[in-house]
Structure 1
């Protein structure tokens, strides 16, 4: 299975983020997975790619030419693909991956994973996606999504399709048993 990993180019305020990122990589290695990610060698992105390479995993990075210098592209991975725009980067990652996991990160991580959520909602994608909720990082984000549901802007079925756990094993098992939700329009027509 090819897993796209979205995460930050920072380490975060607690060492638990790095520890759990390494733990995730070791688990994915045990399941013979490969990794698709944003191509950087810094922050959690660097931790994941370097750890995966040290374990002999296949790591495919996608980075824009503009970010290659700023984010310090990781040239020591299996394959590094350069693109012009962030949109191209996301499209290639989405195409190559069988499933998606967001670790803690900033605007870029949130934007990438919410684009996958949107694709699932309108049925452009039937691939599972998850939030690795390390240290409760995504708790407030999930509260916000429930508030969006309460206000009538999101449907419960689509929020419930997001796999959320602090356990990579639980996420992986959920990937294996994933059933995509109905399309937004089908749910609305059935009401």
Structure 2
């Protein structure tokens, strides 16, 4: 399984994010997974990719040319795709991945995972999507999404299809047993 991991190009203020990133990669190495990520050596992106390479995991990096020129590219990668724009980066990562994890990160991570969630809602994607909720990092975002359901801007079925856990074992098991919800338009016919 190719798993896209969206995460910060910073380390975060709490050491738990680095520690859990290493544990996540160690677990995935035992499951014969490959990792798809943003191609950088900075922050959590670097921790995840370098740990994966040390563990013998295939790592696919996707990075825009201008970020590579700023010496942010992880040059240890054997599989690197250089693209022109951030939009092309997201598209390439989505095409390479079978499942998606939002690990703690900032606006870029939020943008990337939001696009996948939207694709699931409109029926363009049937791939599983997870929030790795370490240190309750995503609690406020999940409250926002619950409110979107309550206020009629998101269907409950789509909210319920999001995998949320602070344990990679649970996320992986849910990936293996995932059934995609119907598209928004199909579900609205039955409401």
After TM superposition, the score normalised by the length of structure 1 is 0.98
- In structure 2, the gaps of 5 or more residues are none
The corresponding residue for 1:158 is 158
The corresponding residue for 2:121 is 121
The corresponding residue for 1:57 is 57
Cα-to-partner distance string for 1:158-182 (whole Å, 9 max, x where unaligned): 0110000000000000000000011
CA contact (8 A) 1:65 1:83 kept: yes
Q: Secondary structure at the match of 1:41?
A: coil
Q: Secondary structure at the match of 1:172?
A: helix
CA contact (8 A) 1:9 1:71 kept: no
CA positional deviation for 1:151: 1.1
The corresponding residue for 2:41 is 41
Cα-to-partner distance string for 1:30-82 (whole Å, 9 max, x where unaligned): 00101000000010000000000011111010000122234610010121110
- The runs of 4+ residues in structure 1 deviating greater than 2 Å are none
The CA distance in 2 between the partners of 1:37 and 1:4, in whole Å, is 6
What is the aligned residue count?
Answer: 191
The corresponding residue for 1:2 is 2
The corresponding residue for 1:104 is 104
CA positional deviation for 1:150: 1.1
The CA distance in 2 between the partners of 1:115 and 1:47, in whole Å, is 24
Q: Secondary structure at the match of 2:185?
A: helix
